[in-house]
Amino acid sequence: VGPWTRLPGLTAHQLVSLHLAVYLAYYGTAAWLRMAAQAEPPPKSDAASLVSLFLSLSGLPPSSSTAGHVFQVEPDGVYLSQIVLGTMVLWGVPSALMLPSLRSPLAIARRLGLAYLAALGALGLWTTDAVLFFGPAVLPLVPLSVLSLFHPKHQQWAKWVRAHPAIIRFRGVLNALFLLLFVPLRLLWLPAVMVAQVIPDALALRTMPKGELPTTEDLQGWPFATVASAAAVGAIFASAQLSWAALLTTQACARCRKERESRERKRAGFVQAAALV
């Protein structure tokens, strides 16, 4: 009898999350690589062109006077948004409401926010950014989906891990992999794209003449608040990465301090034992 029989709901949730993260990361990263291969870096070296160069290297088209790619429909972005929307509505939000270990205002708000962003992407807004946010940015969630099972608050799983040294080593590998993916993708890249591309595009919409708005029939009538809200929610998610990084740093420091204290206690024990000999 393992912890999966005592925590079946949590285990099922994390397995689905792992499957979703692997698929989104694989499909979205492949789509992003195709976009990046088609991007052309600007020839100039001024500040604006440096921003465009960064966006080109990020696989995103540079912003223009017509708010760049806000209304540009990227089929892969729509597809990824549809997957995330369906998963959040049918699985993520209900799981957060039903499972005690996931039932927290922050978890529910995060899933609702993802569902909202995915809904806008499924309707054709910000779909080039959706390739990034629902693709390469999901890579750190692959090891995290497994690590979340081993969290100390899930006592059955934590106890099972402590009883298996091989799983402890596997957890260490996953921790290292998560940090290697989290720092460049979610701590640095994601906020940088928000600042360099998404927020400027949302602000550009505010001052854009009506004649420059897209004339496609299914994009008419989008109020500024709806379009800009995606940038606002995305900025909140990007800012959350900073608090998450601070939490991880605090936990890592606490773990290092605990290990150092444990080594000091062992050393003191050896000294006392030697003194008694």
Tell me whether residue 152 is exposed, middle or buried, using C-beta atoms within 10 angstroms of its C-beta: 0 to 12, 13 to 18, 19 or more. exposed
Token output for 237? 């998610």
**Tens-place pLDDT, residues 69-81:** 687 888 999 999 9
Which residue has better confidence, 179 or 221?
A: 179
The answer for residues whose C-beta is within 8 angstroms of residue 65's C-beta and 6 or more apart is 204, 208, 212
Q: Which of 175, 191, 270 is nearest to 236 (CA)?
A: 191
3-state secondary structure of 154: coil
Determine what percent of the chain is predicted with pLDDT higher than 90: 36
Where residue 231 falls among pLDDT bands split at 50, 70, 90? confident
Which residue has better confidence, 68 or 244?
A: 244
- Give the model's pLDDT for residue 209: 59
Does the structure show a pLDDT above 80 at 45?
no
Which residue has better confidence, 246 or 206?
A: 246
Query: Which of 70-74, 105-109, 145-149, 217-221 bottoms out in mean pLDDT, i.e. has the lowest?
Result: 217-221
- Give the model's pLDDT for residue 198: 85
Q: Where are the domains of the chain?
A: 3-209+221-276
Determine what percent of the chain is predicted with pLDDT higher than 70: 76
Query: Which of 123-127, 132-136, 250-254 bottoms out in mean pLDDT, i.e. has the lowest?
Result: 250-254
Does the structure show a pLDDT above 90 at 28?
yes
Does the structure show a pLDDT above 80 at 277?
no
**Tens-place pLDDT, residues 104-122:** 898 899 999 999 999 999 9
Mean pLDDT of 124-132: 89
